[in-house]
Amino acid sequence: MNRLKIVIITGYAGSGKSTAVSVFEDAGFYCVDNMPVALLENFLQLSTESSLDATGFAFVMDLREKGFLTLYPEIFESIKKQKYDLKVLFLEAEDEIILQRYSQTRRHHPLSRGRSLLEAVGMEREQLKNMRKTADRVIDTSRYNVHDLRAVIRDIAQKNETFLPMKIDVLSFGFKYGVPFEADLIMDVRFLPSPHFETTLKVLDGTAEAIKNYVLDREETRIFLKKYLDLIDYLIPLYQKEGKSYLTLAVGCTGGRHRSVVIACYVFEHLKRPDLQVTITHRNIEQ
**Per-residue confidence (pLDDT) for residue 132, from 0 to 100:** 94
Residue 143 · residue 96 · CB < 8 Å: no
For residue 16, pLDDT beyond 90: yes
Q: Is the pLDDT of residue 202 over 60?
A: yes
How far apart CA 95 and CA 75 sit, in angstroms, is 30
Residue of 252, 54, 34, 81 lying closest to 157 (CA atoms): 54
pLDDT in tens, 50-100: 656 677 899 999 999 989 999 999 999 999 988 888 999 999 999 999 988
3-state secondary structure of 12: coil
77-85 long-range contacts (CB < 8 A, ≥24 apart) are 78/41, 79/6, 79/40, 79/41, 79/44, 83/1, 83/3, 83/4, 84/3, 84/4, 84/5, 84/6, 84/44, 85/3, 85/4, 85/5, 85/6
- Structural domains of the chain ordered from first start: 4-158 (3.40.50.300), 166-282 (no CATH)
Q: Quick one: pLDDT at residue 55?
A: 76
173-182 pLDDT, tens digit each: 999 999 999 9
Averaged pLDDT of the chain = 89
Whether the model clears a pTM of 0.75, i.e. scores above it, the answer is no
